[in-house]
Structures are given as C-alpha cells and as structure tokens.
Amino acid sequence: MKICIISDTHNKHKKLILPEADAIIHCGDFTSMGHEHEVKDFMKWFSKLEYRYKLIIAGNHELLFEKQGLLARSLVPKNVNYLEDSGVELGGINFYGSPVQLPYLNWAFMRPESKLELHWKAIPDDTDVLITHCPPFSIMDFVPWDDAHKGSPSLYWEIVERVKPKIHCFGHIHHGYGIKVIENTTFINAALAGDKNQIVNLPVLIEI
C-alpha cells in the first residue's frame, strides 16, 4: 500500500499538489482556529480526494473536536476515517490515531506527560501505522527558539520498546519536517507548514 502523509496544513489544503497513492493520512492541524466552517471546508475537499482510504486525526488547532465533539464528528464524511484514540484496519494494515499532546497555550487536546502516558499505553501492540499529532521526544521535535525538544518521552518509549510500528507519522513541530528510521520503524514528521503557517514542505510518500 502506498500512503501519502500530510500534516499541519492550516487551511492551505487547496494549494497542495498531492501524489498518487492508495491512502492519504492527515496528522492534524488542518484548520487554523478549529471553527465549524473551517472543518466543513476541509472535509469537503478531503472527502473528494481520489484515494481509496482516507484517514485523519485532530491536532491542537481543531478546537471543535474537543469542545463540541459530537458536532465535529457529524461533519466527518462517511468515506473519511477519523481516529481519536481509536484504530481501524484497512487493506490488511492496522492504523491507530491519537490527537493528544503536551500543553502549549490554550489549544485542544492538551495533556500533561502523566496523562499522555495513559493514552500511549492504549495503543494496540499490533499497530502497523501509528498516527499522532505529537512527536516522540528527541525525534524531529526540536524547536529552535526554545532550544528544546518538545516531544513526549513516554510516547518514545512506548514506540521503541513495545509497539514498534512500521510507520509512526506526526506533525505539530513545523521545524521537524523529515524522515528518520530507527530499527524497523520509520518516523515521519509530515508538517507541511513553516513558521507563518504557509506551505513550505512536500507531502511524504511511503509504501508499506
């Protein structure tokens, strides 16, 4: 299965040039402020993309999904798989997604590290493709102006010690865009936006 992976498009989705693939994954922050009209616009576009499988999670900008979850979920088209601490099997591959991340200002799905650990422990052992908005600590999570890594330490250990997915894709940290392989897991920071939320990076295409 060929998978196109994107993240952090912040309402700029219509400017994207996407490669052909069997599936597309968006790792969150598809809106700017999480307003209902932004979600509707994105979902209309995303649902019409010519991919067999479409998967998405929320990011910290998708406030509607945390504050008005039932409304937000009602806006997700039937041909789009929205994952929120949940999984789905598509084409023989097990996908699992979670939107939570470490606290940053007053955005959505913020959890302290002690709470994040509980979310990560719920990831099934047989997950092939893990989708989070938050990066794991020390993997493409460095923020230059803070001179610090911003990923979750407990996520790192759950991945490398227990789950060991074939792919772990995420975004959130725009400066971390790229690919890194550790043992049998390919880590992908697919954040397409730069400092000012303008699209500066390309979608990532990978085969599993």
Q: Tell me what pLDDT residue 105 has.
A: 83
Summarize pLDDT for 95-120 with one digit per residue, the tens.
999 999 999 888 999 999 999 999 99
CA distances from 71 to 27, 33, 36 (A): 20, 16, 9
Q: SS3 of 177, please?
A: coil
How much is the pLDDT for 148?
81
Listed in sequence order, the DSSP H helices in 75-204 are 113-121, 153-157
CA 167/CA 208 separation, integer angstroms: 8
The structural domains of the chain, with segments of one domain joined by +, span 2-207
In 41-110, DSSP assigns E strands to: 53-56, 81-82, 86-90, 93-98
In angstroms, the CA 130 to CA 145 distance is 28
The pLDDT profile of the chain, 208 residues, written as one tens digit per residue, is: 999 999 999 999 999 999 999 999 999 999 999 999 999 999 999 999 999 999 999 999 999 999 999 999 999 999 999 999 999 999 999 999 999 999 988 899 999 999 999 999 999 999 999 999 999 999 999 988 887 888 999 999 999 999 999 999 999 999 999 999 999 999 999 999 988 789 999 999 999 9
Residue identified by tokens 């099997």 is 89
Task: Note the CATH number of domain 2-207.
Answer: 3.60.21.10
Single-letter residue type at 51: Y
Distance CA 95, CA 78 (A): 17
Q: Do 111 and 104 meet the contact criterion of CB atoms below 8 Å apart?
A: no
Instruction: Look at residue 144 in the predicted model and tell me its pLDDT.
Output: 83
